[in-house]
Chains A and B, each alone.
Chain A
Amino acid sequence: MPTDLIPALDAAGLPGPPWLFHMLLVSTFFLHMLFMNLTLGGTLLAVIAHFRAGGRRDDPRGALAGRLMTVNGYGISLTITTGVAPLLFVQVLYQQYFYTATILIAGVWLAFLLLLTLGYYAAYLYKFRGAPTRSRGGGLWLVASAVMFLLIAMVNVAVHLLHAQPERWADFASGAACVLRDPTYLPRLLHFVLAGIGAAALLATWWAVRRARAGVEVELNTTIAGFAWRWVLWATVLQVVDGVLLLLLLPRPVLSAFMQGGAATMIPLTLAILLGVGLLVMIARVTSPLASPGIVSGTLGAMVLTIAVMSITRHQVRTLYLEPSTRLYEYAVAPQWFNFALWVVLLLLGLATVAYMVRRVLDAPATGGDAA
Chain B
Amino acid sequence: MGYPIWDLAIGGSLLMALVAIPHVIVSHFAIGGGLLIAVTETLAVKRGDPELRGLAKRSSLVLILVSTVFGAISGVGIWVVAGLVSPAAISTLIHTYVWGWAIEWVFFVLEIVASLVYYATWDKISKGAHLLVGWLYFLGAYLSLVVINGIITFMLTPGRWLETGAFWDGFFNPTYWPSLVLRTGICLMMATAFMVFPAMRAAAVHRDRLVRYLGWWFAAGGLVSYAGYRWWEAVLPDSVHALFQGATPALATLAVTRHLALWSLTAALVVAVVILLARPRLARPATAAVLALAAFAFFGGYERLREGVRKPFLIHSHTFSNGLRVAEIAAVNQQGVLATAGWAARAAATDPAGIGRQVFRVQCASCHTLDGYQSIRQALPSLPDVLAVTADDPPGSGARTYRNRCAACHSDVSFDDMKGMLPSADEVRGGPDMIRDLNQGMISGALVKLRVAGENYIAADRTRMIDTSAFPSPYMPPFVGTEEELAALSDYLGSLADDREPRMSMRGGE
Residues in chain A within 8 A of chain B (CB atoms): 4-8, 10-16, 74, 77-78, 80-85, 87-89, 91-92, 95-96, 98-100, 102-104, 106, 109-110, 112-113, 116-117, 120-121, 124, 170, 173, 334, 336, 339-340, 342-343, 346-347, 350, 353-354, 357-358, 360-361, 363-366, 370-372
Contact = CB atoms under 8 A, between A and B. Distances in A.
B73 A15 contact: no
Nearest to B128: A364
Given A10-B91, A113-B80, A121-B69, 10 more contacts: A6-B342, A7-B88, A85-B102, A99-B3, A99-B83, A99-B90, A120-B73, A334-B165, A361-B121, A364-B125
A84 B124 CA distance: 31
B101 interface: yes
Contacts of B114: 354, 357
Contacts of B76: 80, 83-84, 87, 113
Contacts of B4: 5, 100, 103-104, 173
B503 interface: no
Contacts of B110: 350, 353-354
Contacts of B65: 124
A363 to B, nearest CB: 8
Contacts of B106: 343, 346-347, 350
Q: Which applies to chain B's interface (DSSP): helix, strand, loop or mixed? A: helix
Nearest to B341: A7
Contacts of A13: 95
B70 interface: yes
B334 interface: no
Contacts of B263: none
Nearest to B104: A84
Contacts of A364: 125-126, 128-129
Interface of B: 2-6, 8, 15, 19, 41, 45, 65, 68-70, 72-77, 79-81, 83-84, 87-88, 90-92, 94-96, 98-103, 105-110, 112-114, 116-117, 120-133, 136, 140, 165, 167, 325, 327, 342-343, 345-346
A77 B106 CA distance: 15
A109 B113 contact: no
8 contacts: A4-B345, A96-B91, A103-B83, A120-B69, A336-B99, A339-B99, A339-B100, A350-B106
A15 B99 CA distance: 8
Contacts of B96: 12, 15
Contact of B80 (A12, A16, A112): A112
A85 B105 contact: yes
A58 B22 CA distance: 41
A7 B125 contact: no
Contact of A102 (B84, B100, B121, B130): B84
Given A12-B92, A364-B126, A365-B124, A336 B167 contact: yes
A150 to B, nearest CB: 17
Contacts of B327: 11
B116 A74 contact: yes
Contacts of A99: 3, 83-84, 87, 90-91
Contact of B125 (A77, A100, A372): A372
B95 A14 contact: yes
Contacts of A121: 69
B94 A92 contact: yes
A170 B347 CA distance: 10
B84 A103 contact: yes
B80 A110 contact: yes
A250 B136 CA distance: 47
B95 A77 contact: no
Contacts of B124: 365-366, 371-372
Contact of A12 (B77, B95, B102, B112): B95
A5 B129 contact: no
A74 B68 CA distance: 10
Contacts of B6: 103, 106
Contacts of A16: 98
Given A77-B72, A102-B80, A371 B3 contact: no
A357 B73 contact: no
A372 B127 contact: yes
Nearest to A89: B98
Nearest to A366: B126
* Best-surrounded residue of A15, A112, A372 (most CB of chain B within 10 A): A372
Given A7-B2, A7-B3, A12-B95, A357 B102 contact: no
Contacts of A80: 72-73, 76
A28 to B, nearest CB: 9
Nearest to B139: A353
Contacts of B123: 371-372
Contacts of A173: 4, 343, 346
Given A84-B76, A124-B65, A343 B103 contact: yes
A72 to B, nearest CB: 12
A366 B101 CA distance: 38
Nearest to B343: A5
Contacts of B122: 372
Given A117-B73, A370-B127, A357 B109 contact: no
Nearest to B1: A7
A366 B99 contact: no
B41 to A, nearest CB: 7
B99 A7 contact: no
A223 to B, nearest CB: 26
B325 A372 contact: no
A14 B77 CA distance: 24
B83 A91 contact: yes
Contacts of A15: 95-96, 98-99, 167
Contacts of A371: 123-127
Contacts of B113: 78, 81, 354, 357-358
A85 B325 CA distance: 27
Contacts of B342: 4-7
Contact of B346 (A85, A120, A170, A350): A170
A85 B121 CA distance: 27
A91 B91 contact: yes
A96 B165 CA distance: 22
A10 B346 contact: no
Query: What are the 3 A-B residue pairs with the smallest beta carbon separation, nearest first?
Result: A372-B130, A7-B2, A339-B99
A5 B346 contact: yes
Contact of B107 (A4, A102, A124, A350): A350
